[in-house]
Structure 1
Amino acid sequence: MRKSHRTVMAFDYGLSQIGVAIGNCMLGTTQPLAVLRAKDGQPEWQLLEDLIKEWRPDVLVVGEPLNMDGTASELSARANKFGRRLHGRLGLEVAMVDERLSSFEAKHNSREQGHRGDYKRQPVDSLAAELILRTWLAENTER
């Protein structure tokens, strides 16, 4: 990890929702931030850009939903395209992170904390983004 990386924003890419989390490399902290609505995988770019302006991340992390055997899926190809678009629009470094089971784990953790399972009304995508961010931090920061 480059020393200039202090703030990291992570995305749990989906076709109808994109979870967002933010983290601080120096402190090792993370928090869920928002769930952006998407239409066929396209977010409202202005809302996303507003988050970028507010939080000013040094690097963006996008979860790559690989198949359980590690091969690329149709959704992972779209997540990679989303990552390329982020880089092209914002000029920030984008890192892809294996996110197998992050949504499953986010749902499991939420149910343990009393979530009733209505993920349309109470999405957990930002929690999944936080798990993706924690994976990236564990792989890219020295403790």
Structure 2
Amino acid sequence: MKSSTFIAFDFGERRIGVAIGNDLTETANPLMAIDATNDEGRFAAIAVLVKDWTPSAFVVGRPAHPDGKAHAMTARCEKFARQLTGRFALPAYLVDERYTSVDAARALSGSKLTGQRKKQAIDAEAAAQILRRFFVEGPMIVSGPESTAAD
């Protein structure tokens, strides 16, 4: 069985957490955080990741209120997923990201990281948790050339 590589994102307006994973082993590891406040910087950094890792698809965390209803960041994350598909011609799967940043912060609470480095580590760990959730639960929505909404 051939394995596929996935790049997952915990999208934020200031930072984007990034994780890398493999569907055969269902492993996901935090990779980095992209510090960019504009699309040009974000997508330049992502282009390097795509070249280095040659993923089969992207996984993007989709935030929502605790009751599942969308909020302002939901639309921004959905747009980011569409932009990934448009720029790199790869599908982008949206996954429920509720509580992943809280869980990531808890997981790193004993680390010696502080300040900006800790925030970056939390964002990358949140992306890894999003990818692990994708491997277990599957996508909510697929953004791609032939996509349809998943049930």
TM-score of the two chains, using structure 2 as the length reference: 0.83
Letter in 1 for 2:128: E
Counterpart for residue 72 of structure 1: 70
Which of 100, 105, 108 pairs up with 1:107? Answer: 105
Distance 2:48 2:34 in 1: 12
Contact 1:4/1:58, CA 8 A, preserved across alignment: no
1:26 aligns with 2:28: no
1:94 aligns with 2:92: yes
Residue 110 (structure 1) shift: 0.4
- SS of 2:16's partner is strand
Residue 61 (structure 1) shift: 0.4
Distance 1:21 1:47 in 2: 13
Structure 1 moving runs of 4+ over 4 Å: 40-43
User: Per-residue CA shift, 1:23-64, capped at 9, x if unaligned?
Assistant: 011112111111001216774311110101110110100000
Letter in 2 for 1:12: D
Aligned pairs (5 A) from 1:1-143 = 6-39=4-37, 43-111=41-109, 113-115=110-112, 118=115, 120-122=116-118, 123=120, 124-140=122-138
Stretches of structure 2 that go unaligned for 5 or more consecutive residues are: 139-151
Contact 2:95/2:130, CA 8 A, preserved across alignment: yes
User: Per-residue CA shift, 1:51-103, capped at 9, x if unaligned?
Assistant: 01110110100000111110001001100000000000001011000000100
Distance 2:33 2:7 in 1: 13
CA RMSD of aligned residues (A): 1.8
Distance 1:41 1:107 in 2: 26
Give % identity.
37
Distance 1:87 1:107 in 2: 29
Distance 1:63 1:15 in 2: 13
Letter in 2 for 1:128: A
Contact 2:2/2:24, CA 8 A, preserved across alignment: no
Contact 1:5/1:58, CA 8 A, preserved across alignment: no
Letter in 1 for 2:8: A
Counterpart for residue 143 of structure 2: none
Stretches of structure 1 that go unaligned for 5 or more consecutive residues are: none
Letter in 2 for 1:129: A
